[in-house]
Amino acid sequence: MKQKHAVVIGSGFAGLSAATHLAAENFSVTLLEKNDSPGGRARKFESQGFTFDMGPSWYWMPDVFEDYFSHFGKKPSDYYDLIRLDPSYSVIYGKDDVLEIPADLDQFKATLEEIEPGASAQLDLFLAQAKYKYQVGIHDLVKRPSRSLMEFASLGLMKDMMRMDIFQSMSSHVRKFFKSEKIIRLMEFPVLFLGETSENIPALYSLMNYADIALGTWYPKGGMHEIIKGMVALAEEKGVKIRYNAEVEEIEIERGDARRVRLTTGEKISADVVIAGADYHHVDKHLVNPKYSNYSEEYWNTRVLAPSSLLFYLGVNKKLKNLLHHNLFFDEPLGPHADAIYTNPRWPEAPLFYACVPSVTDDTVAPENMENLFLLIPLAPDLEDSEETRAKYYDIILDRLEKISGQEIRSHVIFKRSYAHSDFKSDYHAYKGNAYGLANTLKQTALLKPSLKNKKVSNLFYTGQLTVPGPGVPPSLISGYVVANEVIRENS
């Protein structure tokens, strides 16, 4: 039987995952990457002795990574060394009001008990439910391609889903267990990765609290890009041919079949199957003939996108104090910032933000006696992000960072780079400059997400954060696995 050739567009987590799974099943695979290095949003760059991860910085759900590598007889430690962070992260409610989250569960329970008597016992109940959701959600539901209701028709699965609080909001669910606003904000924090407020995210996603509290926060020494390096090495070992600076301009379709892709250079590459790990909207509206689009522009305009971000990559020429590896600044009310992201899109007046200092854990990412500082403000998609606006928000968060941490930082910054909406659009063709993909609202879950297969083209598939199962690094790994399985099933 003739070996089939698959072309995968985009070398992010989903694209690499799909390509490697296909290559392991005897497909000839060419992976095309627009940029000059792999990883998509998980690229890295180096300057003045600093190594910056450009996007993802949280390593949660270690079992998903273990599962990925185990498909190929490997394990994460074959490619990178993991460090469990302890404390996992800090939540900063104000100056001298900081909650450090211990890795040890008993210590964490004691910490909550000090804030709210009885919270320790409530946490046990909360986590028991969250564990169940994690086991069913991550090890079953998210691995379904969501192409038919029949995938969810078994009685056992329907019972499982009824127990998973799909129709209850995360906000109301958390408040059944805890009364302290500090604890509530802490428990609601993980759903910020899912692209909506806790009022609009199903309580199913308390599974992320289980990932956070029970499975822990980890860090691959050298940075998150080490995962990409490992995945690239494995892909190439399996025979995937990766080409960089190879941007696709068109997927050429004849009589309902994707026959080849044409690069911006004019080169054409034949394909028996095409998997698009690039931005779904970009592929749907710009790379295929309009008559083969899966969705109308109106459809896309009514999707709820996860936030974009304003990022600052800073090199600081001294060691910093009073900051952990991960630091969440909740020193301003969430409501107005959430309104600026989700309800009345605008630049927020008093933004919450996140500060990552990986050099606290890893001395290889900054020169000796210096710090690697990564700052992130979540923002509504599709905002104008001029240099003047970026500079304004740099000053806003540096003022607060200096005040709360009790130190001068701004004058010690020797390297600075910003990144926001226009960069996401330029580098990734990101729809409306989104950073995280499609929000995991109830109306955008499973079958209600954009389909992983084109409805009009027999051999064109999609993977990544705008299709199933959703945004985040572990879901993207799973997305590549799910779409590869569909391709294999249809070509066996």
Query: Against a cut of 0.95, is the pTM above it?
Result: yes
Write the CB contacts of 150 (distance below 8 Å, at least 6 apart in sequence). none
Backbone dihedral region for residue 9 (phi beyond 0: left; psi -120 to 50: alpha; all else: beta): beta
d(C-alpha 331, C-alpha 351), whole Å: 9
Taking CA atoms, 63 is separated from 11, 28, 221, in Å, by 22, 29, 18
Side chain identity at residue 368, one-letter code: E
Instruction: Note every long-range contact of 412-415, with CB atoms under 8 Å and residues 24 or more positions apart, other chains counting.
Output: 412/316, 412/317, 412/318, 413/314, 413/315, 413/316, 413/317, 414/48, 414/315, 414/316, 414/317, 414/370, 415/47, 415/48, 415/50, 415/313, 415/314, 415/315
pLDDT value of position 14 = 98
Residue labelled with tokens 């690697």: 372
Residue labelled with tokens 């046990």: 124
* Contact status, residue 220 vs residue 59, Cβ threshold 8 Å: yes
- Would you write out the chain's pLDDT as a tens digit for each of its 492 residues? 689 999 999 999 999 999 999 999 999 999 999 999 999 999 999 999 999 999 999 999 999 999 999 999 999 999 999 999 999 999 999 999 999 999 999 999 999 999 999 999 999 999 999 999 999 999 898 999 999 888 876 656 667 666 888 889 999 999 999 999 999 999 998 877 677 889 999 999 999 999 999 999 999 999 999 999 999 999 999 999 999 999 999 999 999 999 999 999 999 999 999 999 999 999 999 999 999 999 999 999 999 999 999 999 999 999 999 999 999 999 999 989 999 998 899 999 999 999 999 999 999 999 999 999 999 999 999 999 999 999 999 999 999 999 999 999 999 999 999 999 999 999 999 999 999 999 999 899 999 999 999 999 999 999 999 999 999 999 999 999 999 999 999 998
pLDDT value of position 255 = 95
Write the CB contacts of 470 (distance below 8 Å, at least 6 apart in sequence). 142, 194, 437, 438, 440, 445, 449
